[in-house]
Amino acid sequence: SKRVAILTSGGDAPGMNACIRAVIIACQKANYTLIGYKHGYNGLLQQEYISLSLDSTHNLIQQGGTILHSARCEEFKTREGVFKAAKNLDKAEIDTLIVIGGDGSFRGAETLGEEWDGQILGIPGTIDNDIGGTDATIGYFTAIDTAMSSIDKVRDTADAFERIFLVEVMGRNAGFLALNAALSAAADYVVVPEFFESPDVEVTKIVSQIKAQRALKGPVSFIVVVAENVWPNGLNGLTEALQHHHINDVRPVTLGHVQRGGSPVAQDRLLATTLGEFAVSLVGSDITNIMVGEVNQRPVTVPLPKTWENAKPLNVARVDAMLTLMNERYNNV
């Protein structure tokens, strides 16, 4: 019978626990032994692991975070670290390692695959959705929801004062979260890395839209959703740029790590459950160094490098909808 190990690595994401649960249950059914390394790749290097059985699954599907804890592991980025990990996996007689994580975790997994003969299966877990080969990543839907309801709340106070708010949304170097949060919360403008020309061009557009809206409706609130890591010097930079255009009294809000927490929404639980189950169904096959994903509602396997080689494009229909909504107001005047 097989010995399977699982770990969660990099930024935690709602639904990681749901995925661990699915893996535990599927392993139990197949009669595989399952251990969980704690703190991402650190646990693999330190031999810090726990055994996972059905006892661990109670009330797990709805819990945010990850019961295995996570980390970004510097030692694992070195060759020595990878050698040590491979040795430890052999010592623990592991046949299959399942890694739930994002881009950094998969790069680590690919390097490990060059040194270790066992089977490596990745499962995409990140709120950023910036992983190629899968329509969505575990945690992404919950994060959109969290950002959306936060922006809804900002809207209440923005309306009360007819104020301009800048809301920074996570996403690392991708605009998935920002675009979809902006669209679902009916924000007035969105700044995403995929379409960022220059601060000057963007600020000119933002200012003309604020003016156009105000000319049309009088004093109204205006919410700009800004993806992180795009604007030089972040929300402070944008606040200053607006001041140069005589737009003052702007309030910045950074949503931050709130977006990583909370009980996963149904879509994340479903994705986590199907991908966890699918990964275990591959245990013992000769399919290795891949990520399992879902494309058009079908499970797929993707060679690990394909998950980071080409930046996944934003959903075109969503982009068009956002652009139309932004331009419509603009053209109305």
What is the binding site for ligand F6P (CB under 6 A)? 11, 102, 126-128, 170-172, 228, 260
CA distance 153 to 185: 10
Q: Are 88 and 37 in contact (CB under 8 A)?
A: no
Residue 150 CB neighbour total at 10 angstroms: 18
Instruction: Decide if 306 contacts 109 (C-beta within 8 A).
Output: no
Q: Which is nearer to ligand F6P, 128 or 188 (CB)?
A: 128
Q: In terms of CB distance, is 56 or 184 closer to ligand F6P?
A: 184
Question: Considering beta carbons, is residue 18 or 143 the nearer one to ligand F6P?
Answer: 143
Torsion, Cα 82 83 85 88, to 10 degrees, reads 180
> Residue 223: which of 257, 175, 182, 169 has the closest Cα?
182
Please report how close the Cβ of residue 99 comes to ligand F6P at its closest, in angstroms. 15
Compute the CA torsion angle 120, 66, 311, 79 (nearest 10 deg).
-50
CB-CB contact of 18 with 102 (8 Å) = no
Assigned token pair, 142: 């919950």
The single residue listed with the structure tokens 């060759």 is 79
Supply the minimum distance, in Å, between the C-beta of residue 146 and ligand F6P.
12
Select 124 or 293, whichever has its Cβ closest to ligand F6P: 124
Nearest CA among 273, 275, 12, 312 for reference residue 143: 12
| Of residues 261 and 299, the one with the C-beta less far from ligand F6P | 261
What is the CA angle 19-279-84, rounded to 5? 90
128 counts as catalytic: yes
Q: How far is the CB of 72 from ligand F6P (least distance, A)?
A: 6
CA distance 169 to 228: 6
Kindly list the distances between the CA atom of residue 258 and the CA atoms of 97, 118, 141, 263, in Å, as whole numbers in the listed order.
30, 37, 14, 12
Identify the active-site residue in 12, 103, 128, 188: 128
- The answer for residues whose C-beta is within 8 angstroms of residue 78's C-beta and 6 or more apart is none
Closest residue by beta carbon to ligand F6P: 11
Nearest-approach distance from CB 204 to ligand F6P, in angstroms: 27
What's the min distance (Å) between Cβ of 177 and ligand F6P?
7
Cβ of residue 161: shortest distance to ligand F6P, in angstroms?
A: 29
DSSP three-state, residue 329 = helix
34 or 170, CB closer to ligand F6P? 170
| Active site residue ranges | 128
